[in-house]
């Protein structure tokens, strides 16, 4: 039983769908008192974190949708709003290493597993931009000074923590506008509406559509491509 802490974009099809099933299993144990794996360390660390389970499910569902799967089983738990488990079964850097061994000679995830700090940062840049512009700039400068072989344990931990922070509407808009710059150009649909008039939901959907259609290389391996949509407000 495993609920990963790193972005679902790094999971291959089997791991993504497998985590989705196991998360529902944990929800059933916690919410309905079912026994099963009630004493499993993974279950125990999520006790009291209903909101976080719901948000992790949203992240999984958005990544699944990006890959063509439909989720019809929402998670409605809501305890301890905006709080996440402080305990890791394996820290985020170790989770990348576990997946690297697990996926050897197998299907990879949407986002390639990072081999160094520079790759890890490039995958997360727009997700961080949506949350903290100043930290976005600071991390960029810090990573540029590092050697490629240096350990990325601390960076992986910070990025995982940052991505658990709900972005503001302004932060979402800023990040999506930067992402739009990668795919703006030829109109691929029939609309004549100016981009400035679009809702954030429509802008995010169009970015996803164009990224996949055009095979835009930078956004295809960005955590933001799916995860930002899990934080969009109902109407913007």
Q: How far apart are CA 197 and CA 106, in angstroms?
A: 43
Q: Is pLDDT above 70 for 190?
A: no
pLDDT of residue 194: 82
Higher pLDDT, 1 or 189: 1
For residue 198, how far is the Cα from the chain centroid? 23
C-alpha R_g of the chain: 18
Residues 6+ apart with CB under 8 A from 19: 2, 3, 4, 8, 11, 60
Q: What is the mean pLDDT of the chain?
A: 93
Q: What are the pLDDT digits (tens) for 105-163?
A: 999 999 999 999 999 999 999 999 999 999 999 999 999 998 777 789 999 999 999 99
Higher pLDDT, 89 or 185: 89
pLDDT of residue 187: 59
> Domain 1-113 belongs to what topology?
Endonuclease V (1.10.440)
pLDDT of residue 221: 98
The domain locations on the chain are 1-113, 169-230
Q: How confident is the model at residue 1 (pLDDT cuts 50, 70, 90)?
A: confident
């Amino acid at each position: 039983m495993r609920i990963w802490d790193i972005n679902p974009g790094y999971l291959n099809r089997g791991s993504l769908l497998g985590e989705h099933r196991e998360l529902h299993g944990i929800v059933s144990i916690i919410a309905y008192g079912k026994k099963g794996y009630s004493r499993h360390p993974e279950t125990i660390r999520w006790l009291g974190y209903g909101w976080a389970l719901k948000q992790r499910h949203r992240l999984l569902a958005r990544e699944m949708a990006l890959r063509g799967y439909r989720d019809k089983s929402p998670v409605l738990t809501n305890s301890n709003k905006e709080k996440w488990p402080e305990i890791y079964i394996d820290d985020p850097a170790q989770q990348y290493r576990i997946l690297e061994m697990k996926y050897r000679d197998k299907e990879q995830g949407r986002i390639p597993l990072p081999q160094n700090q520079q790759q890890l940062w490039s995958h997360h840049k727009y997700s961080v931009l949506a949350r903290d512009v100043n930290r976005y700039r600071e991390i960029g400068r810090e990573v540029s000074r590092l050697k490629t072989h240096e350990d990325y344990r601390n960076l992986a931990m910070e990025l995982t923590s940052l991505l658990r922070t709900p972005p503001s509407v302004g932060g979402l808009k800023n990040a999506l506008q930067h992402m739009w710059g990668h795919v703006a150009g030829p109109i691929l649909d029939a609309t004549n509406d100016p981009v400035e008039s679009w809702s954030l939901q429509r802008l995010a959907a169009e970015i996803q559509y164009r990224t996949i259609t055009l095979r835009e290389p930078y956004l295809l391996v960005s955590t933001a491509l799916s995860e930002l949509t899990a934080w969009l407000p109902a109407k913007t």
